[in-house]
């Protein structure tokens, strides 16, 4: 199916069509040359919106014809069009590293995507990760196709008055002015399709966003054929109550997978970016049932091998839950007609206690039980997630709960400033983020102090110039006097150490940690020889009263010092402002309460631009920090919401700034370069930027998850699901027979080399090949546990078996315990079979 309105051959199209093609390919959002041609059409609108579609729609035909007839413009346009076509067609890392791969498509599902401020369908971190990974998939040639929702209103826009009161605004997303287009059938009709909804058929419209060679399909329920209450399902991101959220997740999951089938796309792998999209696995299984005639249990055993669940939630309360009555309204008929299972069977997949009829349906539990692999988004978050999901694996040690981690990364070409982009290109090459990154660390370490420091000082100056324009406008909107507006236009200094703090204002992020001692903060910032300036931004959720109060506290602190304060608070934090801040600040401050920040990515963006981090040892910084690359807060342990610990960390933060960060910035050599500071910059850029880039993240997903998942799915689906039938039967047998599994006596003999263990094991109706017996001993000093396989040595009366194993003398015999667990050579245990029995 083709839904492209325009041809891809630059030589065959008009200038207007070539501009339209470029406008509809979001590749312009990370190519630094983009502004050079959109500015010529409408400079003011381009600076305001950074939306080429809006620019094209507002420019007059006469002006467009005049500009596009200029030889220099046409030459640049054709060059850019040819460059775009070449980039979208050339083999990349995936084609070169895996030329014969059976992986043809990864379906990536997410509730939000942060690709550009011109497409405002994002809120924060989750969308940031999704957008950056789509861009990196394009750079690397990984065959990803993404699915999301097109919201009538994106996440709210923020207005702050002089008193610090936040007002939430919800501008309408006019699809005709967004860089998207309708997906068309071959006959030109708009691709619309239906899914079963309570009492009706719900019509869904489909849009396409082009992200280089990668496509993002967006679903929209604002179709005239729908009932009014259903047209508003995709009205707003994260709005309404549980009913609207369930409707959105129903559309994303069931509708999203059905869309891919309508498009003829057959992904081997389905990647759920958070549990919101987990209903996708139901429709995937239903499609397999239609193709093969197998029951749901077999279809799930086959398809789950190709499903990956990435959890971003660091606290159990953050999981989406839906009450049984609400779930029944949406899925009872679907279970009966489409899946041919009982509603209770579906609910059991999303409950901790499968027999508790009052327990709500947990989307994260459901995703874990229907996917072949699960990962957190940092090393620490992986450990935290194992604790969160441990209740689903009773009697399993927490460190054996089947959750791994793939630490997030950022798309460097999106987040590098013009100055940083020039340096990366000169030092590492034009396409250095399109393949392996082995050379980057070496080349950045070879960069001299002068160009590194020049990049930093130029970027800071660009930021300060932007802040003066933006802040003066903000003061004017807030009703400031003419003198206040003029003063706001002169804030900050080009050469002063610039600190940044910008993120969602929530209590766990502790955005007011710096305000615990306002007088001390002011002394740090106003030091006569070593001053500093602080720029703050962030939104509080409209229902988060404590978060909004923290904004008011900062505004009061700033107001008391007048417009010339060394601190400013910028309203309406969005992707464009984030780009400005991470590109220009010298130091990024991050103060979450450990371990509530699953990963965090803003500090990674600062790395890209030579900025340094002062951060709590949480999320990604807990694994990245070394003294050679920045500064750390905290002791690497968890202290809950202890006010005394908050006070202690505030004191530590002030001391760190006073005694280390600020003085080091001003220690200059004869050439005016702070050599120790630049050494930190160089090491941070060399060591951390490649490691925390989306390039590394997507390659890690591809090689550690996508390729193995595709192979596992293919193996289970082969011969009409023969292996899937076998795995399903194995699971069913375990459920039926596990209660009869028991241990007899455990005997231990001492010999010259160590110990010999004998265990009597009774398996009831289970075949010995369906289980594994081993000795287990806890690890010491942070080491991995010891697991010693026990071999079957023969049968025993009453249907038992004798298992034996030997160990050395390094550990006492009393350290070991025998255990029995399920085993199948093609299954993941305990993810697909949670049973376990320990020798008492």
24-46 residue pLDDT tens: 999 999 988 777 778 888 888 98
**Gyration radius from the chain CA atoms:** 29
Query: Residue 34: what pLDDT?
Result: 74
Has residue 656 been placed in a domain?
yes
Residues 6+ positions from 409 with CB-CB distance below 8 Å? 132, 136, 601, 604, 691, 692, 693, 694, 695, 696, 697, 698
Residues 218 and 154 in one domain: yes
pLDDT band at 7 (very low <50, low <70, confident <90, very high): very low
Q: Is residue 562 part of a domain?
A: yes
Task: Identify any residues that bridge with 361 across adjacent strands, giving them in sequence order.
Answer: 322
CA distance 719 to 712: 14
pLDDT of residue 218: 98
Is 354 within the bounds of a domain?
Answer: no
The vertex-37 CA angle with 36 and 39, nearest 5°, equals: 75
Structure tokens at 194: 């239906």
Domain boundary among 692, 715, 732: 692
Q: Tell me the per-residue pLDDT of 727-740, one tens digit each, with 9 for 90 and over.
A: 999 999 999 999 99
Pair 666, 770 in one domain:
no
For residues 629-666, one letter each, b for 16 or more C-beta atoms within 10 angstroms of the residue's C-beta and e for the rest, the string is bbbbbbeeeeeeeeeebbeebbeebbebbeeebbbbbb
How far is Cα 806 from Cα 750, in angstroms, rounded to an integer? 10
Q: Is residue 337 a part of any domain in this protein?
A: no
Single out the residue in 89, 124, 143 at which a domain terminates.
89
Least confident of 26-40, 515-529, 804-818: 26-40
**371 and 482 inside one domain:** no
Q: Distance (Å, rounded) from C-alpha 365 to C-alpha 392?
A: 8
Residue 16 has pLDDT above 80, yes or no: no
pLDDT of 311 higher than 80 = yes
Query: In which band, very low, low, confident or very high, does the pLDDT at 4 lie, cut at 50, 70 and 90?
Result: very low
For tokens 């499609």, the residue is 287
pLDDT digit string (tens) for 246-262?
Answer: 999 999 999 999 999 99
CATH number for position 575: 3.40.50.2000
Question: DSSP 3-state assignment of 537?
Answer: strand
CA distance 204 to 256: 10
Dihedral sign for Cα 671, 674, 675, 679, please.
negative
d(CA 449, CA 440): 17
- The pLDDT, as a whole number, for residue 11 is 36
Strand-pair partners of 218: 148, 207
Q: At what angle do helices 34-41 and 71-89 cross, to 10 degrees?
A: 140
Do 459 and 603 sit in the same domain of this protein? yes
Which residues is 207 bridged to in the sheet? 182, 218
Same domain, 597 and 569: yes
The pLDDT value recorded for residue 155 is 83
Side by side, which strands form the sheet with 567-570?
A: 567-570, 532-537, 497-502, 587-590, 612-616, 630-633
The pLDDT tens digits of the residues spanning 575-619 come to: 999 999 999 999 999 999 999 999 999 999 999 999 999 999 999
Q: Kindly report the CA angle at 619 between 614 and 624, in degrees rounded to 5? A: 60
Find how far residue 722's CA is from the centre of its chain.
35
Question: Residue 161 falls within a domain, yes or no?
Answer: yes
Q: What is the DSSP letter of 544?
A: -
Q: Is residue 720 part of a domain?
A: no
* DSSP tag of 685: I
Overall number of domains in the chain:
4
Last residue of a domain, one of 374, 408, 442: 408
Instruction: Of 7-11, 46-50, 291-295, 355-359, give the lowest mean pLDDT range.
Output: 7-11
pLDDT band at residue 15 using 50, 70 and 90 as cut-offs? low
The pLDDT confidence band at residue 14, using thresholds 50, 70 and 90, is: low
> What is the predicted pLDDT for the residue at 782?
81
Q: Is the dihedral of CA 123, 127, 132, 135 positive or negative?
A: negative
- Pair 13, 6: CB distance under 8 Å: yes
Q: Is 596 exposed, middle or buried (0-12, 13-18, 19+ CB in 10 A)?
A: buried
Least confident of 9-23, 286-300, 745-759: 9-23
460 and 506 within one domain: yes
Tell me whether strands 587-590 and 497-502 are parallel, antiparallel or unpaired: parallel
Pairing state of beta strands 532-537 and 567-570?
parallel
Same domain, 226 and 146: yes
What is the share, in percent, of the chain residues with pLDDT greater than 90?
85
Whether residue 111 sits in one domain with residue 66: no
Q: What residues have CB less than 8 Å from 719, skipping those under 6 apart?
A: none
Q: Clarify whether residues 777 and 824 are in a common domain.
A: yes
pLDDT at 392: 97
Q: Confirm if 465 and 421 have CB atoms less than 8 A apart.
A: no
pLDDT tens per residue, range 62-114: 888 888 888 888 888 888 888 888 888 888 999 999 999 999 999 999 999 99
Mean pLDDT throughout 723-730? Answer: 98
Domain co-membership, 763 together with 680: no
In a domain, 667, yes or no: yes
Are 628 and 763 in a shared domain?
A: no
From residue 209, give the alpha-carbon distance in Å to each of 146, 184, 411: 10, 13, 18
According to the 3-state scheme, what is the secondary structure of 599-643? CCCHHHHHHHCCCEEEEECCCCHHHHCCCCCEEEECCCCCCCCCH
Pairing between β-strand 817-822 and β-strand 837-838 as defined by DSSP bridges? antiparallel
Q: Name the residue range of residue 617's domain.
A: 418-692
What sign for the dihedral angle of Cα 475, 480, 485, 488?
negative
| Measured distance CA(186)–CA(172) in Å, rounded | 30
Rounded to whole angstroms, the Cα distance separating 565 from 490 reads 11
Residue 522 CB-density burial (10 A; 0-12 exposed, 13-18 middle, 19+ buried)? middle
User: Taking each helix axis from N to C terminus, what angle separates 575-584 and 449-477, rounded to the nearest 10 degrees?
Assistant: 140
How far is the C-alpha of 310 from the C-alpha of 377, rounded, in Å? 7
CATH value at residue 789: 2.60.40
Q: Are residues 747 and 622 in the same domain?
A: no
350-393 confidence digits (pLDDT tens): 999 998 999 999 999 999 999 999 999 999 999 999 999 999 99
pLDDT number for residue 9: 33
Q: Is residue 336 part of a domain?
A: no
How much is the average pLDDT of 522-551?
96
Q: Whole-angstrom Cα distance, residue 122 to residue 115?
A: 8
CB contact at 8 A, 102 and 714: yes
């Amino acid at each position: 199916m083709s839904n492209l309105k325009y041809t891809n051959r630059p030589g065959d199209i008009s200038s207007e069509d070539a501009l339209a093609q470029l406008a509809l390919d979001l590749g312009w959002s990370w190519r630094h040359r983009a502004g050079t041609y959109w500015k010529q059409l409408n400079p003011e609108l381009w600076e305001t919106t950074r939306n080429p579609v809006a620019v094209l729609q507002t420019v007059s035909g006469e002006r467009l014809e005049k500009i596009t007839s200029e030889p220099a413009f046409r030459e640049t346009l054709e060059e850019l069009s040819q460059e775009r076509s070449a980039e979208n067609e050339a083999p990349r890392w995936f084609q070169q590293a895996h030329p014969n791969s059976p992986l043809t498509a990864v379906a990536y599902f997410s509730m939000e995507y942060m690709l550009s401020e011109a497409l405002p369908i994002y809120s924060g971190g989750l969308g940031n990760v999704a957008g950056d990974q789509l861009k990196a998939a394009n750079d690397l040639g990984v065959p990803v196709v993404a699915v999301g929702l097109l919201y009538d209103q994106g996440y709210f826009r923020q207005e702050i008055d002089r008193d610090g009161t936040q007002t939430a605004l919800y501008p309408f997303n006019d699809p005709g002015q967004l860089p998207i287009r309708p997906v068309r059938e071959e006959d030109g009709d708009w691709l619309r399709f239906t899914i079963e909804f309570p009492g009706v058929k719900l019509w869904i419209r489909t849009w396409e966003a082009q992200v280089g060679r990668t496509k993002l399909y967006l679903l929209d329920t604002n179709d005239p054929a729908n009932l009014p209450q259903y047209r508003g399902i995709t009205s707003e991101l994260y709005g309404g109550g549980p009913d609207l959220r369930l409707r959105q997740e129903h559309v994303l999951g069931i509708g999203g997978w059905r869309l891919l089938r309508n498009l003829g796309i057959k992904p081997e792998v389905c990647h759920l970016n958070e549990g919101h999209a987990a209903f996708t696995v139901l429709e995937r299984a239903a499609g397999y049932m239609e193709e093969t005639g197998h029951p749901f249990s077999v279809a799930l055993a086959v398809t789950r091998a190709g499903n990956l669940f990435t959890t971003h939630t660091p606290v159990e309360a953050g999981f989406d839950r839906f009450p049984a009555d609400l779930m029944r309204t949406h899925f009872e008929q679907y279970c009966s007609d489409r899946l041919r299972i009982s509603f209770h069977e579906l609910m059991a997949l999303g409950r901790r206690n499968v027999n508790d009829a009052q327990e709500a349906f947990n989307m994260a539990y459901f995703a874990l039980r229907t996917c072949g692999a699960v990962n957190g988004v940092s090393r620490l978050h992986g450990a935290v997630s194992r604790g969160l999901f441990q209740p689903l694996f009773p009697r399993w040690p927490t460190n054996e709960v089947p959750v791994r981690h793939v630490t997030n990364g950022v798309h460097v070409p999106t987040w590098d400033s013009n100055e940083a982009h020039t340096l990366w290109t000169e030092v590492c090459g034009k396409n250095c983020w399109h393949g392996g990154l082995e050379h980057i660390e070496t080349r950045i370490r070879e960069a001299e102090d002068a160009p590194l420091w020049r990049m930093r000082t130029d970027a800071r100056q660009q930021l300060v110039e932007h802040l003066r324009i933006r802040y003066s406008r903000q003061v004017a909107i807030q009703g400031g006097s003419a003198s206040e507006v003029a003063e706001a236009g002169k804030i900050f200094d080009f050469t002063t150490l610039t600190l940044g703090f910008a993120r969602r204002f929530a209590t766990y992020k502790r955005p007011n940690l710096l305000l615990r001692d306002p007088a001390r903060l002011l002394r740090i910032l106003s030091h006569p020889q070593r001053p500093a300036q602080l720029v703050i931004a962030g939104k509080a959720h409209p229902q988060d009263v404590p978060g909004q109060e923290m904004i008011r506290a900062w505004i009061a602190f700033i107001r008391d010092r007048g417009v010339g304060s060394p601190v400013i608070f910028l309203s309406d934090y969005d992707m464009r402002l984030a780009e400005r801040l991470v590109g220009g600040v010298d130091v990024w401050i991050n103060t979450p309460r450990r371990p509530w920040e699953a990963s965090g990515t803003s500090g990674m963006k600062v790395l890209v631009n030579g900025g340094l981090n002062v951060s709590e040892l949480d999320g990604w910084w807990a694994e990245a920090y070394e003294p050679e690359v920045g500064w750390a807060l905290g002791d690497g342990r968890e202290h809950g919401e202890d006010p005394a610990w908050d006070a202690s960390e505030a004191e530590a933060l002030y001391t760190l700034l006073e005694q280390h960060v600020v003085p080091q910035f001003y220690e200059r050599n004869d050439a005016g370069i702070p050599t120790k500071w630049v050494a930190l910059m160089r090491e941070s850029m060399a060591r951390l930027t490649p490691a925390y880039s989306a390039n590394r993240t997507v390659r890690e997903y591809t090689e550690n998850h996508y390729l193995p998942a595709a192979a596992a799915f293919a193996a289970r689906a082969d011969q009409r699901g023969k292996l899937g039938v076998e795995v399903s039967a194995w699971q069913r047998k375990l459920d039926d027979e596990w209660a009869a599994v028991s241990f007899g006596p455990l005997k231990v003999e001492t010999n010259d080399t160590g110990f010999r263990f004998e265990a009597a094991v009774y398996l009831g109706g289970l075949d010995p090949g369906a289980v594994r017996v081993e000795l287990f001993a806890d690890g010491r000093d942070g080491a991995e546990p010891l697991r010693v396989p026990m071999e079957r040595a023969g049968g025993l009366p009453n249907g038992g078996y004798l298992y034996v194993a030997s160990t050395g003398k390094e550990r006492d015999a009393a350290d070991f315990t025998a255990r029995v667990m399920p085993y199948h050579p093609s299954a993941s245990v305990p993810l697909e079979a949670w049973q376990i029995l320990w020798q008492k």
